[in-house]
Chain A
């Protein structure tokens, strides 16, 4: 018998031995929908608050001038800034010291020498201060938001929902998804939180819209 058939057979025998427990009805009376619609001022305030709590930086930008906030975010960047192939027009600022490099399958070593990465996002959750990336053209491969030390992420206010259920519902599960809540951190030494281990040590969120 194959291992597959044997394990499945053991599961069936075990469930029979336990008296074929009927699947329980799942009560879903927790908050699925938030009290506020996506992008409501209350949510934006909560979202900012959560991000700052994680030691992320939050900048604001009007919808038609994202580049201004990005310029401020990348003011100190020198060398190369990686961008995904589908970076929206108008996000890249003029007059930066850094050079724009569009990802076309850069090697991990190339990414390691980059100063920063600039992307959009797929969805965000205010209650937990979470940003979801799903590999769309304005976000790029998972590797580009992982290896560079600074991640500048543009979040449109209409992408900010209140609850975790709303955020998950806004995503297509089979895409490669990364949920980011603040910069990389560890609490492994005496439970003292240290920001920045392997992922980007600096997360700058540009809130626009």
Chain B
């Protein structure tokens, strides 16, 4: 156990906390059959593609081990790598800013945009800027932020929130996207069909003029190379290249954990990332830029290095490995819980298994207490993770941490009561037998569908988002007694 008290991401800003607990939010999602169909289809497709391209490499496990060791080594000297990155970026004409938290980062970016005189910016998909709620902060300052990634555009036009790290609009199907475009895109062809190619071309036309006139762009970064000062954005559509190339000013917001020590280290991550995320041998476009290059690309470059709870995560001897995440989304696509609930249920920009461990650590576990329980602990996420983050162990540890905190409080939670009751019952054979018989009452509750929709409290916390199977008419003990002549 660690005693380090880091500073978690501040409340009231950004998107790390949902307004409902996971079970509450999941209940709605589970009832939405369209959502479950969209998700089931998408995750199935992506799992198949990933398996095929990972199978092509006979050194995949060696790459994973290298990736995992590289991350651990980077974190152990994180301060030195960041200082080096700052030095190299500055030496090549960039300006580096440091932000303790979301509020500070938003203030820096807003000021930088205001100094250019621009009233709108183009953005390439960035988890960090979603995490800190940058679009809302810019809007409050009268600056319009245009998301340019197709999925982000769908989400933004739909007045919606992203639900997947890589495919933020995974919860929408083509018909829903067509409706959003017809409703929200000025000048769109009213004959627009739901064919993906037609929809993508409508987005192209919609964004083209914005790219060509943009003066300021905001991006995230997949990697920042310490020994050269090089930043990288990995993408597919070319909206990233547009943002990183055409405007006069580029502002990049990067979490401090995204640094890698050397250019050579990219040879590991540029193999692990595309295959794990989109299931491609390589993503269509990766842009790398170092400071400012005269005559090529933005002539003003600002790098904002963001903490926002990351150092609190780093202070935990086991939990710090959650910072190794390269946001590939492979763990989401293999998770049976994610596949059924979708990303919104996690209430954070970081959904799925990694979100269940990262969000509570960034905010402090009491602010996202139900997330560590949002898993079946089946272990598929660990097997899929290209940097070998042991998510199941982290989940168990966070649960223990949460239970410890509950114990210190005067009023125990519903789970604590249910668990205490269960352990009291199970610790005595007599009580267990009695409870088993008692469960037959459940047969009456579940008579019609063979499923129980609601159990009485405190077990209602369980059936709130699941159906419980109807208990059998005979308990195991009764069956044993009948079959084996009562000599139990």
Determine if A18 and B314 form an interchain contact, defined as CB atoms under 8 angstroms apart. yes
Determine if B284 and A32 form an interchain contact, defined as CB atoms under 8 angstroms apart. no
Instruction: Collect the chain B residues with CB atoms within 8 Å of residue A108's CB.
Output: 211-212, 246
Determine if B62 and A30 form an interchain contact, defined as CB atoms under 8 angstroms apart. yes
Determine if B77 and A185 form an interchain contact, defined as CB atoms under 8 angstroms apart. no
Q: Is B335 in the interface zone, CB < 8 Å from A?
A: no
Nearest A residue to B62 via CB reads: A30
Known contacts A26-B66, A176-B296; A185 and B237 CB within 8 A of each other: yes
Number of interface residues of A (CB under 8 A): 77
Q: Most chain-B CB neighbours within 10 Å: which of A14, A30, A188, A192?
A: A188
Please tell me which one of the listed residues B2, B42, B149, B236 contacts residue A184 in the complex, with CB atoms under 8 A apart. B236
Known contacts A187-B167, A199-B285; A25 and B229 CB within 8 A of each other: no
Return the CB mask of A160-173 against B: 1 if under 8 Å, else 0.
00011100110001
Considering only residues 100-135 of chain A, those with a C-beta below 8 Å from chain B are 105, 108-109, 112, 125, 127-130, 135
User: Quick check: which of B12-20, B260-268, B407-415, B435-443 contacts chain A, the rest being far away?
Assistant: B260-268
Please tell me which one of the listed residues B208, B281, B320 contacts residue A18 in the complex, with CB atoms under 8 A apart. B320
Q: Is B6 in the interface zone, CB < 8 Å from A?
A: yes
Q: Is B419 in the interface zone, CB < 8 Å from A?
A: no
Considering only residues 197-253 of chain B, those with a C-beta below 8 Å from chain A are 197, 199-200, 203-204, 207-208, 211-212, 225, 228-230, 236-239, 241-242, 244-246
Q: Is B431 in the interface zone, CB < 8 Å from A?
A: no
Q: Is A143 in the interface zone, CB < 8 Å from B?
A: yes
Known contacts A11-B79, A14-B6, A198-B207; A178 and B287 CB within 8 A of each other: yes
Considering only residues 39-80 of chain A, those with a C-beta below 8 Å from chain B are 50, 54
Q: How far is the CA of A55 from the CA of B283 in the complex (A)?
A: 13
Instruction: Collect the chain B residues with CB atoms within 8 Å of residue A143's CB.
Output: 245-246, 296-297
Determine if A105 and B278 form an interchain contact, defined as CB atoms under 8 angstroms apart. no
Determine if B284 and A174 form an interchain contact, defined as CB atoms under 8 angstroms apart. no
Nearest B residue to A109 via CB reads: B212
Known contacts A15-B78, A188-B151, A188-B167; A178 and B241 CB within 8 A of each other: yes
Majority-rule SS of A interface residues = loop
Determine if A146 and B149 form an interchain contact, defined as CB atoms under 8 angstroms apart. no
Known contacts A23-B73, A198-B242; A4 and B98 CB within 8 A of each other: yes
Q: Is A10 in the interface zone, CB < 8 Å from B?
A: yes
Instruction: Collect the chain A residues with CB atoms within 8 Å of residue B167's CB.
Output: 187-188, 191
Number of interface residues of B (CB under 8 A): 102
Please tell me which one of the listed residues A7, A21, A109, A174 contacts residue B92 in the complex, with CB atoms under 8 A apart. A174
Instruction: Collect the chain B residues with CB atoms within 8 Å of residue A176's CB.
Output: 287-290, 293, 296-297
Considering only residues 76-109 of chain A, those with a C-beta below 8 Å from chain B are 105, 108-109
Instruction: Collect the chain A residues with CB atoms within 8 Å of residue B297's CB.
Output: 141-143, 176
Determine if A199 and B76 form an interchain contact, defined as CB atoms under 8 angstroms apart. no
Known contacts A23-B77, A181-B284; A13 and B315 CB within 8 A of each other: yes
Q: Closest CB of chain B to A3's CB: distance in Å? A: 4
Determine if B150 and A188 form an interchain contact, defined as CB atoms under 8 angstroms apart. yes
Please tell me which one of the listed residues A17, A179, A186 contacts residue B200 in the complex, with CB atoms under 8 A apart. A186
Please tell me which one of the listed residues A3, A135, A199 contacts residue B293 in the complex, with CB atoms under 8 A apart. A135
Nearest B residue to A16 via CB reads: B4
Determine if A23 and B72 form an interchain contact, defined as CB atoms under 8 angstroms apart. yes
Instruction: Collect the chain B residues with CB atoms within 8 Å of residue A142's CB.
Output: 241, 244-245, 287, 296-297
Determine if B73 and A26 form an interchain contact, defined as CB atoms under 8 angstroms apart. yes
Instruction: Collect the chain B residues with CB atoms within 8 Å of residue A194's CB.
Output: 196-197, 200
Q: Closest CB of chain B to A13's CB: distance in Å? A: 7
Determine if B150 and A189 form an interchain contact, defined as CB atoms under 8 angstroms apart. yes
Q: Is B84 in the interface zone, CB < 8 Å from A?
A: no
A sample of 16 more A-B contacts (CB under 8 A), given A3-B100, A168-B266, is: A11-B311, A24-B76, A127-B281, A135-B293, A143-B245, A146-B245, A164-B267, A168-B267, A169-B264, A179-B285, A188-B154, A190-B174, A191-B46, A197-B236, A198-B148, A200-B238
Q: Which 7 A-B pairs have the closest CB atoms?
A: A199-B238, A17-B4, A198-B238, A14-B315, A10-B311, A128-B282, A14-B314
